[in-house]
Structure 1
Amino acid sequence: MSHIDVLALSGSLRADSHNTALLRAARGIAPDGMALDLYAGLRDIPPYDMDLDTPDRRPAPVRELRARITAADALLIATPEFNYSVPGVLKNALDWVSTDWTGAEGLPLRRKPIALTGAAPTNFGSVRAQLALRQVFLWTDSDLVVKPEVIVFRSHERFDEEGNLTDPTTRRLLGELLDGLARKVEAARTGVPAAA
């Protein structure tokens, strides 16, 4: 496999977030040739404002995120679930990077290979949040990895006190998800659709 750069986004701002820990674990599970860069600027993204959503007026953190997504071969997103849906900070960031009102820049998320996962302490994990994200990425015409669905329920039981992912089933599924993401990237490069 050729080199693949993945931008990893956690939908949680918490210092001890299981979703951020999940992305750190993914670094060690990723297939050879895949490098994960953990995005840490979500807190700096201002509320979406269409009046500022042009190339010359976007806030600097938004411009940086758009550039990093454009440069990445793929995205890996780990989301918690708030009120049966996606955390507002994550949805807000996606709103900023889903547009091209001038028609001159291109759409950073269009046909971008994306894999989803998510952790939550409840018995259903991040099922609903991931479902909501799937709808968002349908609209943005992104190339989503559909299986496996990696839903880390009762997440407090799957990490140790240092935030290390200790659950072997979750590690295996996360590895399969990253393999699927690599296949999406290779398919985009070669123009040959990835096997289901």
Structure 2
Amino acid sequence: MSVHILALVGSLRSGSHNRQLAEAAVKHAPEDVEVTLYEGLAEVPFYNEDFDTDALRPAAATRLREAAAQAEAFLLVTPEYNGTMPAVLKNAIDWLSRPFGSSALAGSPTAVVGTAFGQYGGVWAQDDARKSAGIAGATIVEDAKLAIPGSVTRFAETHPADDTEAVAQLKQVLSALATTVEAPAV
């Protein structure tokens, strides 16, 4: 039986290196791990509690919650925009954190990875994503981290799925997530 991990990517750009990193996670997931790359974050409107009712909830938000309900763990893949995570990823976390007391993230093992042009690989954005997801109830897997610096040059001609080091590190992150699902902390 496979562990199902849902990947949410904080960049909407089709050529995004972070999207490519998520694609590498899908392609190179360890045996017994299935990673699904969520499509559709661009359609999810900004969270507004006034519209979070059965009668008014946007279909895109419902689809996001349904996909999250099928996942056993989450992989958040984020670039760094102005020193923090992009609004699209924060918005996804906001939708998944509601309704209060019923967070789709509650207790779910969650890892945050990413790549950025800077020399630290987007660690500020990753720290903010961990904080936000943790407050939303996710169980942050602290030893499952990956920050790849210099994305613009490192992945200029090489897809992350073809980068041996990046693939090996992604596999470690995914294995740590799967292990946490299989043997939850008490």
Structure-2 residue corresponding to 1:71: 70
* Structure 2: gaps (5+ residues): none
Bigger shift: 73-82 or 166-175? 166-175
Contact map agreement 1:159 1:166 (CA 8 A) in 2: no
Contact map agreement 1:81 1:87 (CA 8 A) in 2: yes
Whole-angstrom distance in 2 between the partners of 1:56 and 1:152: 43
Whole-angstrom distance in 1 between the partners of 2:150 and 2:23: 18
Structure-1 residue corresponding to 2:105: 109
Structure-2 residue corresponding to 1:143: 139
Whole-angstrom distance in 1 between the partners of 2:98 and 2:160: 36
Structure-2 residue corresponding to 1:23: 22
Question: Residues 108-129 of structure 1, C-alpha deviation per residue, up to 9 Å, x if partnerless?
Answer: 0100111110111111211000
Whole-angstrom distance in 1 between the partners of 2:4 and 2:68: 10
Q: CA RMSD in A?
A: 1.7
Question: Residues 26-74 of structure 1, C-alpha deviation per residue, up to 9 Å, x if partnerless?
Answer: 1232111111111110110111111112233210000010111011111
* CA apart distance, 1:164: 4.1
Opposite residue 106 of structure 2, the aligned amino acid is: R
* Structure 1: gaps (5+ residues): none
Structure-2 residue corresponding to 1:57: 56
Aligned length: 186
Whole-angstrom distance in 1 between the partners of 2:148 and 2:160: 14
Contact map agreement 1:97 1:109 (CA 8 A) in 2: yes
Opposite residue 99 of structure 2, the aligned amino acid is: D
Whole-angstrom distance in 1 between the partners of 2:3 and 2:144: 20
Partner SS for 2:147: strand
Q: 1:108 to 1:146 in 2, by over 3 A?
A: same
Whole-angstrom distance in 1 between the partners of 2:181 and 2:154: 29
Contact map agreement 2:160 2:167 (CA 8 A) in 1: no
- Normalised TM-score (structure 1): 0.88
Determine if the alignment matches structure 1 residue 42 to structure 2 residue 54: no
Q: Percent identity?
A: 37
Opposite residue 149 of structure 1, the aligned amino acid is: K
Higher relative contact order (CA 8 A, sep 6+): 2
Which contiguous aligned blocks of 4+ residues in structure 1 show a shift greater than 6 angstroms? none
Opposite residue 14 of structure 1, the aligned amino acid is: R
Determine if the alignment matches structure 1 residue 181 to structure 2 residue 180: no
Determine if the alignment matches structure 1 residue 7 to structure 2 residue 3: no
Structure-1 residue corresponding to 2:96: 97
Whole-angstrom distance in 1 between the partners of 2:178 and 2:130: 19
Structure-2 residue corresponding to 1:129: 125
Contact map agreement 2:93 2:133 (CA 8 A) in 1: no
